[in-house]
Structure 1
Amino acid sequence: MSSILIRSIQLLLSISILVVVHELGHFILAQVFKVRVERFFLFFDPWFSLVKKKIGHTIYGIGWLPLGGYVKISGMIMDNKSEIQTQNWEFRSKSGIKRLLIISGGIIFNILLSILIFTFLLFKHGETFLPTKNVKYGIEVDDLGEKIGLKNGDKILFVNDKYVPYFNDIPKAIILGNSITIDRMGNIIKLSLSDNKKKFLFDRKEFNFFIKPRVPPIINYVIKNSEAEKYGLKNNDEILAINSEFVLFSDQLKDLLSKYKNENILISINRNGSLIQKEIFVNPKGILGIYLKDFMDLDQIFLFDKKNYTFYESIPHGIKKTWNVLKNQIFFFKNVFHIETKAYKQIGSFFSIAKEFPSKWNWDIFWTLTATLSIWLAFLNLFPIPSLDGGYILFIMIEMITKKKINEEIIERCTIYGFIIISLVMMFIIIWDIFKVFFS
């Protein structure tokens, strides 16, 4: 099965779960307050539906257009106000607070789903942290890290003048922050993080870590039929030198291999305490055919903090994780409107979301992404735009505050205009995403 198909299936399953849970929130609260739901659909069904069945007062079905879903609640908008009397099972017959809860049901359920998923993941796996103080060799940076002013070997002391206890939180703190204080070979330097610099972090074609702990060059595994296998390199060999140049860290090895492209080199390695030297050819791309260990593979060098939780302990941590994801999304959304940061380039449609899923099925990653998308869906639905939940919430709150009913023709027109605006925005994002994926 191709990686594209696997990613597509994961995306479709994730969206289906999110839509069903969201609409279930509206449905259940409508049932609680004895309001009829006429239709409950996964995906939209213009002109025809794939499956539908009427049970009681509700038609349940699956549409053919996988861009969302909906529930049709009786009496949200009167078809003919002058001739039809309001029934006690209609939405409009209920008090403001009941209507508010029914409309908020989807948002509430998406938040609860995110908390539930993160809670179970934390209960199952716990959390593993690398204390910043244990990053003994400093950091290794890629070209993005270099563009914001960092260098290999820098030790990060503070972000925004605050000490970050765990290295896992430093990349996020840098993106959110305004300054980094580093120790560079004994010199204390404070780097500013202007929008001009942050644009490099947002203007990424794919997600990657721009900093990671610096590690010694130890082989994780040797690729089959590679030059490394041919010349007898083995897993767990530690590379000590290339020709006469000592190698202490992985980034130094990469630089040296790039220097000796298409040449034979003398490589010195430590194999279980024995010094071994081998002559080996470096191909034109500067590749030997090995994967090096990263910091997660070197727990004998880096001391990690592992936290395990009971189920009840994992609940508040699940809530905290949901809140942190939401805060990050709010921060990103704010930066979208700062043209200098180029955060708008990270906006994407289903194509971009699908790329975040792994090419091989991994349930932990699947559920983590689903939890993240769930809180994102809740956040977007809070926007006070007619046709979104937030638009209806705004109308209901105005009525509750003013004690006056808003003209239903105004609500209906605003809803139509809101739907048109959202549809145009979605079309623009899809076209933009297609351009990024296929033409950028």
Structure 2
Amino acid sequence: MSLLAISWDVVGVKVGQLLLSLSILVILHEFGHYITARWFGCRVERFFLFFDPWFSLFKKKVGDTVYGIGWLPLGGYVKISGMIDESMDKEQLALPPEPWEFRSKPAWQRLIIMIGGVTVNILLAFIIYAGILMVWGEKKIVNASLKYGIEVQDSLMLELGFKDGDKVVALDGKPVENYYDVIPTLILSSTATIERNGQQQTLTMPRNLIGKLVEKKRRDVPLIGIRYPMMIGADTGVSARYGWKRFDKVIAINGKPTAFFTDAVAVMEQHKNKQVNFTLLRNADTLQSTVQLDSTGYVADLRIIGKPESLEEAGVVDYEVIKYGFFAAIPAGIRMAGDKLSWYIDQFKMILSPETEAYKGVGGFKAMGNVFPGSWDWESFWTITAFFSIVLAFMNLLPIPALDGGHVLFTLVEMITGRKPNQKFLEYAQVVGMVLLLGLMLYANGNDWLGWGREK
């Protein structure tokens, strides 16, 4: 299979995961509006997954509602009779209100209908996170346990003062317990306390760290990784042929010391399609082997230790997987959703701050698709979908006309003042909100594909 074919396979898997994730989130979000509208006796005219300008892929009328699938995967909608929405159905709004229309309902009922979608998204995140904790568990690499410290994988981190072997002790003065929290917290931090050669020192992070990452187009490159030696991962197959055992360490290649995995890879890449001499360490004994490298500079089919579970067995890190029972998973899922929401709000604040230049990292559907792995993995899929559900809930609550938050704002004003906003005002606000949202969507997707706002 060619590299191009493999690449398109990866794209197909990413697109498939994105479409499935968005479909789940959109259907359930709109169902939140649909079911609450039905509870209060509103007529729902249309319930669509994706938008359907000019035509739809599928539609079927059941009772008063047309259910369907549109061709434009930018979201979805329910059309509730008597409500000023993206359909801008002015003819219906010009007629006297009917009992089954949204505008005829008391403000408190309209408020519940408008927050129905967000409520479902929040509950969905709780449920997914609780399910993840029950099925796959909460995973933790004890940050203090990294035997060899971190490995710098992005040149920007070198510019910021990080070096191979450093241990990240604290960020903004707060100790980091889980290594998996280091990178997400680092990009939002102003200081990093590191341990280097047994001494602690503090590095200052630039306010525009996210902007720098985007400028260098490094969003797909990890900032740091775990530092560890190259170790044999199995006693069978290629290893058996050479007489290697699991956990044997490759300490030199052609006489050049290779204390760590990256050292070994760097030497091997210089000897593609050639034979090299491996020096391995087993306990206190050293072994010599002549090895044939392939065109990539690797030993074909050789298994190398690298996963957290095997790194723990090798004594490089302490790795924990905590699985929760049903009742324990519920509060833990709520806590996890709360932590993710807090992190996203901090990131959102940075986007709104020009000095951080975080706006350069705003992405659209391409960025969303790239979050998913290149091979189908249900744990990753549900973890990402839960986070997207939180993002969807938060973004929809923003007080922007055309979003749920805009309708909620106007309804709350009505409940406080006792006066309904003028219908013409609501119509104009809806148009302004739609234009603003379309502009933001255009910018985000243009940033994805054309790099708008980034330095060339």
Same fold flag (TM > 0.5) = yes
Any residues of structure 2 matched to 1:204-283 within 5 Å, and which? 204-220=217-233, 236-257=247-268, 265-270=276-281, 274-280=285-291
Q: Write the distance in 2 (CA, Å) between the matches of 1:166 and 1:5.
A: 33
Any residues of structure 2 matched to 1:351-366 within 5 Å, and which? 351-366=366-381
The aligned length equals: 435
Is 1:35–1:89's contact at 8 Å kept on the other side of the alignment? yes
| 1:196 CA displacement | 4.4
TM-score, normalised on structure 2? 0.85
2, 8, 14: which one pairs with 2:9?
2
Does the alignment pair 1:182 with 2:199? Answer: no
Q: Write the distance in 1 (CA, Å) between the matches of 2:368 and 2:13.
A: 13
Q: Write the distance in 2 (CA, Å) between the matches of 1:200 and 1:282.
A: 37
Any residues of structure 2 matched to 1:368-387 within 5 Å, and which? 368-387=383-402
The residue number in structure 2 matching 1:346 is 361
Any stretches of 5+ residues in structure 1 without a counterpart? none
The code of the aligned residue for 1:108 comes to T
Does the alignment pair 1:318 with 2:333? Answer: yes
| 1:91 CA displacement | 1.1
| 1:369 CA displacement | 1.4
The residue number in structure 2 matching 1:407 is 422
Is 2:153–2:221's contact at 8 Å kept on the other side of the alignment? no
4, 7, 16: which one pairs with 2:23?
16
| 1:137 CA displacement | 2.0
The residue number in structure 2 matching 1:34 is 41
189, 194, 205: which one pairs with 2:206?
194
Any residues of structure 2 matched to 1:97-112 within 5 Å, and which? 97-112=108-123
Is 1:250–1:292's contact at 8 Å kept on the other side of the alignment? no
Is 2:279–2:287's contact at 8 Å kept on the other side of the alignment? yes
Any stretches of 5+ residues in structure 2 without a counterpart? 1-7
| 1:276 CA displacement | 1.7
The residue number in structure 2 matching 1:169 is 181
Any residues of structure 2 matched to 1:60-209 within 5 Å, and which? 60-77=67-84, 79=90, 84-143=95-154, 144-203=156-215, 204-209=217-222
Q: Write the distance in 2 (CA, Å) between the matches of 1:167 and 1:359.
A: 23
SS in 1 for 2:219: coil
Deviation by residue 1:299-352 (Cα, 9 ceiling, x = unmatched): 221232332211111111111111222222222222223445442333222222
The structure-2 alpha-carbon separation of the partners of 1:306 and 1:366, relative to structure 1 and needing over 3 Å to count, comes to: closer
SS in 1 for 2:168: strand
RMSD over equivalenced CA pairs, Å: 3.1
Is the deviation greater in 281-290 or in 415-424? 281-290
| 1:221 CA displacement | 7.1
Is 1:213–1:295's contact at 8 Å kept on the other side of the alignment? no
Is 1:336–1:342's contact at 8 Å kept on the other side of the alignment? yes
The residue number in structure 1 matching 2:4 is none
TM-score, normalised on structure 1? 0.88
The code of the aligned residue for 1:219 comes to I
The structure-2 alpha-carbon separation of the partners of 1:322 and 1:422, relative to structure 1 and needing over 3 Å to count, comes to: same
Is the deviation greater in 354-363 or in 67-76? 354-363
SS in 2 for 1:50: strand
Q: Write the distance in 1 (CA, Å) between the matches of 2:95 and 2:257.
A: 87
Any residues of structure 2 matched to 1:325-340 within 5 Å, and which? 325-340=340-355
Q: Write the distance in 2 (CA, Å) between the matches of 1:114 and 1:82.
A: 36
| 1:271 CA displacement | 5.1
The code of the aligned residue for 1:162 comes to K
The residue number in structure 1 matching 2:62 is 55
| 1:264 CA displacement | 6.5
Does the alignment pair 1:46 with 2:58? Answer: no
Question: Identity over aligned residues, as a percent?
Answer: 39
Is 2:50–2:74's contact at 8 Å kept on the other side of the alignment? yes
The structure-2 alpha-carbon separation of the partners of 1:45 and 1:264, relative to structure 1 and needing over 3 Å to count, comes to: closer
The structure-2 alpha-carbon separation of the partners of 1:423 and 1:229, relative to structure 1 and needing over 3 Å to count, comes to: farther
Q: Write the distance in 1 (CA, Å) between the matches of 2:269 and 2:354.
A: 36
The structure-2 alpha-carbon separation of the partners of 1:56 and 1:81, relative to structure 1 and needing over 3 Å to count, comes to: closer
